[in-house]
Structure 1
C-alpha cells in the first residue's frame, strides 16, 4: 500500500521526487564534508599542537611622569619586551601591531610597531617608546596619582595588540587577534635607589 502510494506520487509529480532526491544527496554530501573537515582539523591539531604565545617585559622605566593641576599627564616611558612563539611546527605573522600604555584604565600612550614574522620556537624583541602629554579624566585618577607618587611607584599597564596569520608548511591562514597585557609597577622618576627591575610575565588571550 505504501510503495504503491509512493509510485503513484512519483508518477503524478516526477519533479517532486527529483527535488527530494537532490536535496537528500546534497545533505549527505554536506554532512560528509563536515565530518571530513572535523576529522582533518582534529588530526592537524594533534600533529601541530598549537601553543599560546608568551610575552615578557624585560625592562621598563619612567623618565617623566607628572600630572599638572589641569590633569594633563606628561610622560616618557620606555619598554623592552620579548614575544615568543613556542610552537614547533607553526610560524606566526604579526600584522597591525600596536603598543598601548594605560594608567588607571585610561590610555595615555600609543606606539605603532612594524609587522614581523616569527619562525618556529623563535623570539622577537620589541622596544615601544611612549612620550607626550595626555589629559586624564576623573578626580579619583588624580587622587590615586598623588598617592602613588608619595609611595614612590606608579602602576602602569602596557598592552600589545596584533592580528595573527598562521603559517603551516607553505600554507598561510588568517588567525585571531592577539591581545597581550603587562601590568607594571615602576619607580617614580627621580626616585632614590630604585629597586632593580624584575621581568614581568604578561597575560595573553585571543
Structure 2
C-alpha cells in the first residue's frame, strides 16, 4: 500500500460516515507476462467488520510495468456495534485509525497471444494506520499477495 487517507470521518449515534482513499502499487517486473485485471473489489475492515466496499475499473497491465490502483471507499450511515463505535471513538482521539484493506481480483495472464483462464488474486494489507490530519505522512505498508 503506497498511500492512504480518510476524509469526512464522522461518528454519530453508533453510525459511521467516512471516505477512505487508498493507492496500491501493482508491479509487474516480468518481461514476458502481462496481466488483465478483469474484476477488482476492495474492502476496508475494522475489527473484522466490513466498513466500506467498492469495485475498481478493470485494467490491463503490460510487461515491466508499475500501475497505481486507486480505490475510493465510502461508508455511509454504517451501523456499528456499541463496542466498535466506542473503539473507533477512542482511535479518533489518537489522530489515526487502524484498518485492514483487502483486494480481491479476477485476473488472466497473457504470454504472447495465449491467455490463461481466470485466477483469483488476493491482496491483504493489515494494520494500515490512516491519519485524520492531512499533513501527517502515510507510512507505506507491505501487503501479502496470494494467487
**TM-score normalised per structure 1:** 0.64
Distance in 1 of aligned mates of 2:130 and 2:18: 13
Larger helix percent: 1
Deviation, 1:94, is: 0.8
Aligned length: 146
1:120 aligns with 2:46: no
* TM-superposition CA deviations, 1:149-196 (whole Å, max 9, x none): 2222101222211111111221111142001112310123xx4x8531
1:199 aligns with 2:140: yes
Which structure is richer in relative contact order (CA contacts within 8 A, separation 6 or more)?
2
Q: How does 1:141-160 map to 2 (within 5 A)?
A: 141-160=84-103
Structure 1 residue ranges, 4+ long, deviating more than 6 angstroms after superposition: none
1:165 aligns with 2:108: yes
| Bigger Cα Rg | 1
Distance in 2 of aligned mates of 1:134 and 1:97: 24
Distance in 2 of aligned mates of 1:79 and 1:135: 19
**What is the Cα-based RMSD across aligned positions, in Å?**
1.9
Consecutive unaligned residues in structure 2, runs of 5 or more: none
Does the CA contact (< 8 Å) of 1:80 and 1:126 recur in 2? yes
1:92 aligns with 2:35: yes
User: Relative to structure 1, is the Cα distance of residues 63 and 141 closer, same or farther in structure 2, using a 3 angstrom cutoff?
Assistant: same
**TM-score normalised per structure 2:** 0.87
Is the partner of 2:20 in helix, strand or coil? strand
Partner residue in 2 for 1:68: 12
Consecutive unaligned residues in structure 1, runs of 5 or more: 1-56
